[in-house]
Amino acid sequence: MCGIAGLLFASGSGPVGEYLITMLRALQHRGTDSTGAAIYRDNGKSRDLILRVLAEDVVGALAKISSAIASVGGNIRNVEMNVSIKEGYGYDRYEVAYNGNIRRLVEAVEGTRIAKIISVGRYVEILKDTLPVDEFNSTFKVFKMQGSHGLGHIRFSTESRVDLFHAHPFQDIDNPDIVVVHNGQITNYWKIRRTLEMKGVRFLTDNDSELIVHYIAYKMSKGMNFEDALKCSIRELDGPFAYMIATPDALGLVRDKLGLRPLVMGVSEEVLVGASEEGASKQ
């Protein structure tokens, strides 16, 4: 059992972090293994990449990561360091001017062997950790974040281990501004994963939820529009599931064909919201 939440502002911008944290607090009883959020900045002109990097606290770490980014043509605009989440590690934030292949940039940073990419995107920033909602909010100051839309997740693990990397949300490295949160199980996970891997899709975990974002991103990369890709997932993914998925300019809510996992939606003149429970959607 997990809790999912999401919202999209009609005006294009609003206190997305405040809304998400309030909704996630209402869902806390659905799990305490981890909390995560994806915040989308206002859509518009092309912009720098935002990287969230889990890096070892060792001498020369910043220099090694900076060198790796420069080696593929990236230019660091700003760095915020020492958002500590684990002893000996920092959850650092890099703003990088870069127009090349994003997978190549990620592989360069992780090739230092002292860093792992937790989030990368031009429009979205993902934050997640093995913390309950209030500690998560205190660590990352999510409550203060502004944006156009966002996703949130509370986890109770049933399918894979509990750590930062298996926490939601998940993104697709080749199409990083597509992000998913999920509740339920994908029972034909391995069959579809093997098919996608044969087509070059890179999986980072064995969490079945990660499959969904790769599946949708792959369909869209082959020319399918967002809505049709979501409809296709209902036909081709097996199991009881509900998920919410976002792109820079859209928010999708999907349940399995039998409606075996809860997902409710609310709409006002100000905002569209979705959540695992009605109580959260009314917050």
pLDDT digits (tens, 9 = 90+) for 187-201: 999 999 999 999 999
Q: What is the mean pLDDT of residues 241-267?
A: 95
Q: What is the mean pLDDT of residues 7-26?
A: 94
What does the DSSP assignment read for 222-241? TT--HHHHHHHHHHH--SSE
Q: How confident is the model at residue 31 (pLDDT cuts 50, 70, 90)?
A: confident
pLDDT at 159 over 90: no
Q: How confident is the model at residue 87 (pLDDT cuts 50, 70, 90)?
A: low
- d(C-alpha 49, C-alpha 164), whole Å: 21
Among 61-65, 82-86, 106-110, 142-146, the minimum mean pLDDT is found in 82-86
What are the start-end ranges of the E strands in 130-275?
149-155, 170-172, 175-184, 241-247, 250-255, 264-267, 271-275
Tokens 């809790």, residue located: 3
For residue 147, what are the β-bridge partners?
Answer: 14
- d(C-alpha 64, C-alpha 67), whole Å: 5
Give, in order, the Cα–Cα distances in Å from 201 to each of 75, 87, 123, 214, 238: 27, 33, 21, 7, 20
Instruction: Locate CATH 3.30.70.260 in the chain.
Output: 48-121
pLDDT at 45 over 60: no
Instruction: Locate CATH 3.60.20.10 in the chain.
Output: 3-47+126-281
Query: What's residue 85's pLDDT?
Result: 63
Query: What's residue 281's pLDDT?
Result: 60
Percent of the chain at pLDDT > 70 equals 93
Look up 2 and say whether it is catalytic: yes
- Strand 34-40 relative to strand 149-155: parallel, antiparallel, unpaired? antiparallel
* Mean per-residue pLDDT over the chain, rounded: 92
CA dihedral (169, 35, 254, 12) positive or negative: negative
pLDDT at 90 over 90: no
DSSP 3-state assignment of 172? Answer: strand
1, 2, 54, 131: the catalytic one is 2
pTM score: 0.94
Q: What architecture is domain 48-121?
A: 2-Layer Sandwich (3.30)
Query: Are 186 and 238 a contacting pair, CB within 8 Å?
Result: yes
Q: For the domain made up of 3-47+126-281, give the CATH fold.
A: Glutamine Phosphoribosylpyrophosphate, subunit 1, domain 1 (3.60.20)
Q: 207-216 pLDDT, tens per residue? A: 999 999 999 9
Query: What's residue 60's pLDDT?
Result: 85
